[in-house]
Amino acid sequence: MIEIETAGGVQVLRLNRPAKKNALTGEMYTALSEALERGNDDPDIRAHLLCGVPGAFTAGNDIADFLQYAMGDGGMADAPVVRFLRALARCETPLVAAVDGLAIGVGTTLLFHCDMVYASPRALFKTPFLDLGLVPEAGASLLAPQRMGHARAFELLCLGEGFDPVRAKAAGLVNHIVAEETIELEALQCAKAIAAKPAEAMALSRRLLIGDRTVLHARMEEEIELFAQRLRSEEAKTAFTAFMAKSQARD
């Protein structure tokens, strides 16, 4: 479900679960985490490319799979998504994303950790956390206002409004809008160009641009704690029950 290929200094991480619109399971999060962590230690990996399948970058968490982890004895501490979020925040290798179609929930928030984001005209960025009685994750409550300004971050994270690629580009979330037929090729060319740059200079320059991550790490841990608390709230239980009922009716 996560296909990984490495060539020319680029590690391509492809989400490939088209039947579920690339909804992310614990197994998929673990594979992504291991790949990002490997990139920190392997000098031959000089850029990551994250991509999905035609029409779906990712629909976000596989809710049923996620709840099995999050509501278990270990709670969020043992959830593979938490390892993935921490791996994103600690990633030392440049990240490029090719977003064609749905980018829901973590499919949007992970992009705040990417250095270059390519989107197709049919991309849709949406974070329905609040509608599920939850709070934002992946450090988005810090990174989104910094990147987009408070007003647009509120629309995205609190109102749950969908952003098309034009609006996402204007907000600073997307670098380039390209046709779905060429998006992966152009994103891969970008990743290869990054990989071809002097590696030490790239690493130092990226570190300077990102700055001190202490505040980001602290905010992410605060989000994780609040997220876990919210999962056990009556609001979230009601919202998830309604969501699962709707999903079962569709199936």
List pLDDT tens digits, range 202-229.
999 999 999 999 999 999 999 999 998 9
Q: Is the pLDDT of residue 96 over 80?
A: yes
Rounded to a whole number of angstroms, the CA Rg of the chain reads 17
Please tell me the predicted confidence (pLDDT) of residue 29. 97
Which band of pLDDT confidence, cut at 50, 70 and 90, is reported for residue 74?
low
Range 137-154 average pLDDT: 98
Please tell me the predicted confidence (pLDDT) of residue 99. 98
Please tell me the predicted confidence (pLDDT) of residue 80. 93
Q: Is the pLDDT of residue 121 over 70?
A: yes
More confident residue, 107 or 78: 107
Closest residue by Cα to residue 104 from 161, 45, 145, 187: 161
Separation of alpha carbons 79 and 84, rounded Å: 9
* Residue pointed to by tokens 């580009």: 169
For residue 200, count CB atoms less than 10 angstroms from its CB and return exposed for 0-12, middle for 13-18, buried for 19 or more. exposed
Closest residue by Cα to residue 236 from 131, 148, 153, 108: 131
Separation of alpha carbons 45 and 151, rounded Å: 37
| 8 Å CB contact between 57 and 99 | yes
Please tell me the predicted confidence (pLDDT) of residue 85. 97
Range 243-250 average pLDDT: 72
Please tell me the predicted confidence (pLDDT) of residue 248. 65
Please tell me the predicted confidence (pLDDT) of residue 251. 60
Share of the chain above pLDDT 90, in %: 85
Please tell me the predicted confidence (pLDDT) of residue 245. 76
CA distances from 236 to 48, 135, 153 (A): 34, 10, 22
Which band of pLDDT confidence, cut at 50, 70 and 90, is reported for residue 34?
very high
**pTM score, whole prediction:** 0.94
What rounded mean pLDDT belongs to the chain? 94
Separation of alpha carbons 35 and 27, rounded Å: 13
Closest residue by Cα to residue 176 from 162, 107, 168: 168
